[in-house]
Chains A and B, each alone.
Chain A
């Protein structure tokens, strides 16, 4: 009896599976309706704009293009930042990638190395190239090919509680730049009973240390791709050592902030528990919106080391799929998209720094009177190239070696020699 019942059940299962399969095919035939011959040219633009204002700005730019170019219509396909790397890998391998791809330099470079992105050197407007600082252009140049239009970027800035600085008798720096030594002195001067001079969210310290190392001549990497070599010397260790000295010798850094994210530190900043905080420049907009009423704050000038105020640029990018049938049209659209007024509007909406100088100037004009923005935008001129962008094993080294090693160093578990040894041996192990 059971065997017979089981056979019936098995047959039923097979039948359902068959029906499901048939149902899938039916939907397929009914749902597939792509007409390749349709005019005008249609471009898909996978946009990662996430802030409501930035979404609106992107839509507005695209609408202006579509109106002016009836033969080349652009369709925005919104996507999120989370998981976008996996999505792009599948899209590229499955031949379903959009024509225009929004991403960031650090993550898009591997796709260029693997040959998924079109060379835009010949298509990119000469005016735009001349308008973008050299270091930023280098961040989107792979093996001599320009693989993306740089659009938006952030720098690390020092935000200060003006009231606390005034109370400590500190003269607020007003020059074009300020030195790290000045930062240390101000932090020490503003550290009193219940207040620390500085709070720096170094939960994931590698990105901050890599970005700011150029001020001390630190590059971390020489060479590109699989041939890149790691160098850990004085320039690379300068900022971690300074942070540790401020933490252990001066006691001028809020200890818990070293384990927090940048955003988490802002609560202490608003509460007056810290006089200054180092944050991504985009936080200027959040501070303006979230700070308690009467909270008097300023952005201090870009930090400068012995080698200048340079910070490694990792801009957001717009690239073109090499398999797109409309590379030229896509590049034309991007030339329009990156015009000064468009980039200024987009960056204003995103609270970021435009990649081109003319857009920075325009945005500075638009935001005249808004606290801190003149200083934030001036930091855009100090952006320099980021050698780590072109290193094959960087992501793995960063996550498995550098971040844990920096965390151990900041926690006092290892000294500077131990840190250098951990960074180097970890790199050797990964690249062996």
Chain B
């Protein structure tokens, strides 16, 4: 009986991976299909005729490459901003037990209460006053601002989980504040930083509404806006090019995650050794 446990576990894992991966697989399959095949009752995972033109159409149409570049810049810079601000703020909130912590925590919760539709108009007016509508700088700041409270909340949890005794032990051994932070706290916080960065990156990468309202020039459009333009009025959808565009759009995100995943694991191991 025990002999069967391991294979059963792997089988369950494989089924789970298929469950998660199948929509992506189907998307890749659709990206190579012709409109006629997509509108057929016959269901094939492997396309009958491989239609590479979907990719060239996706790339030529609506400036997909330019939008991808915009999305990468906005997502990376807003992620960097979020981490830069959230990291020290989270440390302060976790360790500072006073009015600042109460106010800060309250602010985080309150900021999550307002729906986007409620804040978009005042936000638009503020950004317009300072000349940051239709600007990637403005969108980056909005993404960073909007993601910051939750990122702060996430990081605060990670900081709280690090025993203060570890920092005190470092101090007892003669390490200064900076060294304690650099050599004890930051390595232990790395999984939290990576997870927060991933969250921030994905939030910005997928964000549609702010970009829709704030950006006016096609030169500034981000990927979600450009991909939505494949869906037309009167129910018209260019499914093949849309699928191809979505596949291409997923690549930078996958690369970012592959890179960050190693850091996530590395940080966890680092924490285990220190702990």
Q: Contact: B96 with A6, CB < 8 Å?
A: yes
A90 at the B interface (CB under 8 A): yes
Q: CA of A282 to CA of B234 in the docked complex: distance in angstroms?
A: 8
**B233 touches which one: A7, A48, A95 (CB < 8 A)?**
A48
Q: How far is the CB of B263 from chain A (nearest CB, A)?
A: 22
Q: Which residues of B contact A51 (CB under 8 A)?
A: 232, 236, 238
Which residue of A has the minimal Cβ distance to B208?
A83
A268 at the B interface (CB under 8 A): yes
Q: CA of A3 to CA of B167 in the docked complex: distance in angstroms?
A: 13
Q: CA of A409 to CA of B219 in the docked complex: distance in angstroms?
A: 48
How many of A's residues come within 8 Å of B, CB to CB?
63
Q: Of A17-25, A298-306, A324-332, which binds chain B?
A: A17-25
Task: Please report whether the interface of chain A is mostly helix, strand, loop or mixed according to DSSP.
Answer: helix
Q: Contact: B228 with A83, CB < 8 Å?
A: yes
Which residue of A has the minimal Cβ distance to B229?
A80
Interface string of B134-149 (1 = CB under 8 A from A): 0101100100100000
B39 at the A interface (CB under 8 A): yes
Q: A31-B132, A268-B41 are in contact. List 9 more A-B contacts (CB 8 A).
A: A1-B171, A10-B88, A10-B89, A32-B131, A50-B229, A52-B57, A90-B124, A267-B40, A282-B234
Query: Within A219-267, which residues are at the interface with B (CB < 8 Å)?
Result: 261-263, 266-267
Q: Contact: A27 with B235, CB < 8 Å?
A: no
**A5 touches which one: B61, B91, B124, B218 (CB < 8 A)?**
B91
Q: Contact: A80 with B131, CB < 8 Å?
A: no
Q: Contact: B100 with A316, CB < 8 Å?
A: no
Q: Which residues of B contact A90 (CB under 8 A)?
A: 120-121, 124, 213
Q: Contact: B168 with A9, CB < 8 Å?
A: no
Q: CA of A78 to CA of B230 in the docked complex: distance in angstroms?
A: 12
- 14 residue pairs of the A-B complex, CB under 8 angstroms, read A5-B180, A16-B88, A20-B141, A80-B225, A82-B228, A83-B209, A94-B124, A94-B125, A96-B216, A267-B40, A270-B36, A270-B41, A282-B234, A289-B36
Q: Which residues of A contact B135 (CB under 8 A)?
A: 27, 31
Q: Contact: B177 with A290, CB < 8 Å?
A: no
Q: CA of A32 to CA of B218 in the docked complex: distance in angstroms?
A: 18
Q: Which 9 A/B pairs are nearest by Cβ-Cβ distance? A: A50-B232, A6-B96, A9-B88, A32-B131, A9-B92, A80-B229, A28-B131, A290-B36, A271-B41
B273 at the A interface (CB under 8 A): no
Known: A16-B84, A82-B231, A270-B40. A94 touches B128 (CB 8 A): yes
A400 at the B interface (CB under 8 A): no
Q: Which residues of A contact B208 (CB under 8 A)?
A: 83
Q: Which residues of B contact A96 (CB under 8 A)?
A: 124, 128, 133, 216
Q: Contact: B39 with A266, CB < 8 Å?
A: yes
B102 at the A interface (CB under 8 A): no
Interface string of B39-58 (1 = CB under 8 A from A): 11110000000000000010
Q: Contact: B212 with A5, CB < 8 Å?
A: no
Which residue of A has the minimal Cβ distance to B227?
A80
- Please report A residues at the B interface, Cβ cutoff 8 Å: 1-10, 12-13, 16-17, 20, 23-25, 27-29, 31-32, 48, 50-52, 77-83, 86-87, 89-91, 93-96, 104, 154, 261-263, 266-268, 270-271, 273, 280, 282, 286, 289-292, 316, 352
Query: Within B108-125, which residues are at the interface with A (CB < 8 Å)?
Result: 117, 120-121, 124-125
Q: Contact: A20 with B233, CB < 8 Å?
A: no
Q: CA of A9 to CA of B84 in the docked complex: distance in angstroms?
A: 11
Residue among B57, B135, B177, B234 with the highest chain A CB neighbour number at 10 A: B234
Known: A24-B132, A50-B233, A96-B216. A263 touches B85 (CB 8 A): no
Interface size class, chain B: 35 or more
Residue among B81, B137, B168, B238 with the highest chain A CB neighbour number at 10 A: B137
Q: How far is the CB of B236 from chain A (nearest CB, A)?
A: 7
Q: Which residues of A contact B120 (CB under 8 A)?
A: 86, 90
Q: CA of A13 to CA of B57 in the docked complex: distance in angstroms?
A: 46
Q: CA of A234 to CA of B243 in the docked complex: distance in angstroms?
A: 45
Which residue of B has the minimal Cβ distance to A48?
B233
Q: How far is the CB of B139 from chain A (nearest CB, A)?
A: 12
Q: Contact: B216 with A267, CB < 8 Å?
A: no
Q: Contact: A290 with B228, CB < 8 Å?
A: no
Q: Which residues of B contact A86 (CB under 8 A)?
A: 117, 120, 209, 212-213
Q: Contact: B231 with A80, CB < 8 Å?
A: yes
Which residue of B has the minimal Cβ distance to A201?
B235
Q: CA of A291 to CA of B41 in the docked complex: distance in angstroms?
A: 12
Q: How far is the CB of A314 from chain B (nearest CB, A)?
A: 10
Q: Contact: A316 with B233, CB < 8 Å?
A: yes
Q: Which residues of A contact B81 (CB under 8 A)?
A: 20
Q: Contact: A28 with B132, CB < 8 Å?
A: yes
Q: Contact: B124 with A6, CB < 8 Å?
A: no
Q: Contact: A50 with B137, CB < 8 Å?
A: no
Q: Contact: B213 with A8, CB < 8 Å?
A: no
Which residue of A has the minimal Cβ distance to B81?
A20
Known: A6-B96, A25-B130, A52-B61. A292 touches B234 (CB 8 A): no
B164 at the A interface (CB under 8 A): yes
Q: Which residues of B contact A267 (CB under 8 A)?
A: 39-41
